[in-house]
Structure 1
Amino acid sequence: MRSALRRRLLQAARTDALATLDGDVWRSRCLHCRRALAVRADGEALGATSLEHVVPSVWFGRRAAAALTARVGEDADDPRNLALACAPCNHGKGCSHDARGPGDARAREVVAALLDTRLLRWREPDAGD
């Protein structure tokens, strides 16, 4: 697994208020379905764990998504926009809502609700993170 992806997975775990460090494994829940997920302390995703860009990366810079992207900054990889999700949920969102684009009202509604959930689960990273 690429080191950049490992770093982002760790950022998502460390900034998730539901995540706990159990030995050398971060344990949390899928942003969508609350399935149990795990990431090793070195950033390796375990099982079905995947990295979710809550506001899809391709939506950044698009006028229809401006209100959503403003909530997480100008960078799709901002930690506020990263979350842990199970692969089936992440893939499903990518094939449906993300693919419809920010011009679709239902897609914006789903992404906004997920972003609300992510921001409610936000915790500031420790100084050493």
Structure 2
Amino acid sequence: MRAALRRRLLLAAHTDALAVLDGGIWSTRCLHCRSTLQLRGDGEPLGNTTLEHVVPQAWFGRRAAAVLTAQVGDDADDPRNLALACARCNHDKGKGHDARGPGDVRAHEVVDALLATRLSRWRDPTVPPAS
């Protein structure tokens, strides 16, 4: 696995208020279905843990997504836009809502709700996580 992906996975865990680091393993919940997810302290995902771009990368720069992307800055890899999700949920979102684009009302609603959840779970990256 590429080092850049591991760094993004760790950043998503470190900025997730639900994530707990215990014995070198991060534990948290899927952004979508709330199933338990784990990530090794070096960023290696365990089980079906994947990196979720809450606002899809392809939506950045699209006028229809401007309200959403403004909440996370100009970079799809902004920590506010990164979350951990199980592979099934992440794949389903990718082939459904992400693919329909920000102009689709339902896709926009789903991503808006997920972003609200992610931002409600936000933890300042300068604050050490609970163990």
TM tier, shorter chain?
over 0.9
Q: Which runs of 5+ in 2 are unaligned?
A: none
Find the residue that maps to 1:21 and give its secondary structure.
Answer: strand
Q: Which residue number in structure 2 is paired with residue 64 of structure 1?
A: 64
Mapping for residues 87-98 of structure 1, pairs under 5 Å:
87-98=87-98
RMSD between superposed Cα atoms in Å: 1.2
Could you tell me which amino acid in structure 2 is paired with residue 52 of structure 1?
E
Matched, 1:27 2:27: yes
Q: TM-score, normalised by structure 1?
A: 0.98
Shift of 1:53: 0.1
Q: TM-score, normalised by structure 2?
A: 0.96
Find the residue that maps to 2:110 and give its secondary structure.
Answer: helix
The percent identity for this pair of structures is 73
Could you tell me which amino acid in structure 1 is paired with residue 27 of structure 2?
R
Structure-2 separation of matches of 1:18 and 1:127:
13
Structure-2 separation of matches of 1:94 and 1:57:
11
Structure-1 separation of matches of 2:96 and 2:110:
10
List, as ranges, runs of 4+ consecutive aligned residues in structure 1 with deviation greater than 4 Å.
none
Q: Which runs of 5+ in 1 are unaligned?
A: none
Structure-2 separation of matches of 1:49 and 1:27:
10
Q: Which residue number in structure 1 is paired with residue 75 of structure 2?
A: 75
Number of positions where the alignment pairs a residue of Structure 1 with one of Structure 2: 129
Matched, 1:3 2:3: yes
